[in-house]
Amino acid sequence: MNRIKHLFQEKKNILSIYYTAGYPNTGDTIQIAEALQKSGADILEIGFPYSDPVADGPVIQASSKQSLDQGMTLKLLFEQLKELRKNVTIPVLLMGYVNPVLQFGVEKFCEACAEVGVDGCIVPDLPMVEYEEFYKDCFEKHNLANVFLITPQTAEERIRKIDGLTNGFIYLLSSSATTGKNLEVGNTTEAYFSRIKAMDLKNPTMIGFGISDKQTFDKACSYANGAIIGTAFVKAISEGNLEENISNFMKKFKD
């Protein structure tokens, strides 16, 4: 059984943390992963930076630019990730845009993920039709979960299709805005979350975009299997002592 499936069978209120590879410093990728596991994260989403991160807000855009300016590439990231499984045992996903993956080569990318112990990928701008036709076999051959995103506007037919193609979890965007917006669960958002929950999907769900503290995390967990935090964490590690910042940030989510 892979790490993602095992986690969702064993645990509720799952906390996933996103951070940008190579930020704040190029060599921080593994240190952050180890510190997050130590501090109680359940899943890691390591972002590989891209020069045109259209779905990201200013904080993650800035982290991507800094990482790229400092020399981060997919090739370098995979070199760093060779050390990943020495101490990190929780599920790890890579998240980023499709363009760097295509430039790297999809087959080569999947092979590299498998070699370093990555469990899955989140590639928001990879069209579902292209994934199914061209890349699904490659992902499955290397035991990689491909995580699809759902927005409040996603039709039920498409959600059912995504559920059928998913072998990890489904990422529920709390809104169609860019990352970094605060989660506001009004009537419309509540109806959206309730609608997804009532569909009784076969795959677990995680809510992302706008989760920044214990209150928003708990709210998201009442509708899904867990929540994803990105912008708030990236902001928290932007300066100062990395280990202290990670420990202090993660303490917010402990009961």
Q: How far apart are CA 168 and CA 203, in angstroms?
A: 7
> What's the first-to-final CA gap in the chain, in angstroms?
29
Active site residue 163: no
Active site residue 119: no
Contacts 24+ apart (CB under 8 A), 78-84: 78/112, 78/115, 78/116, 80/21, 80/27, 80/29, 80/30, 81/29, 81/30, 81/46, 81/116, 81/117, 81/118, 82/115, 82/116, 83/30, 84/30, 84/33, 84/116, 84/117, 84/118
Q: How far apart are CA 118 and CA 108, in angstroms?
A: 13
Nearest to 232 by CA among 160, 182, 192: 182
Question: Active-site residue among 45, 156, 218, 255?
Answer: 45
Question: Active-site residue among 56, 69, 137, 239?
Answer: 56
Question: For the CA atoms of the chain, what is the radius of gyration?
Answer: 17
CA angle 101, 104, 107 (to 5 degrees): 80
Quote the distance between the C-alpha of residue 239 and its chain's center.
22
* Residues recognised as catalytic: 45, 56
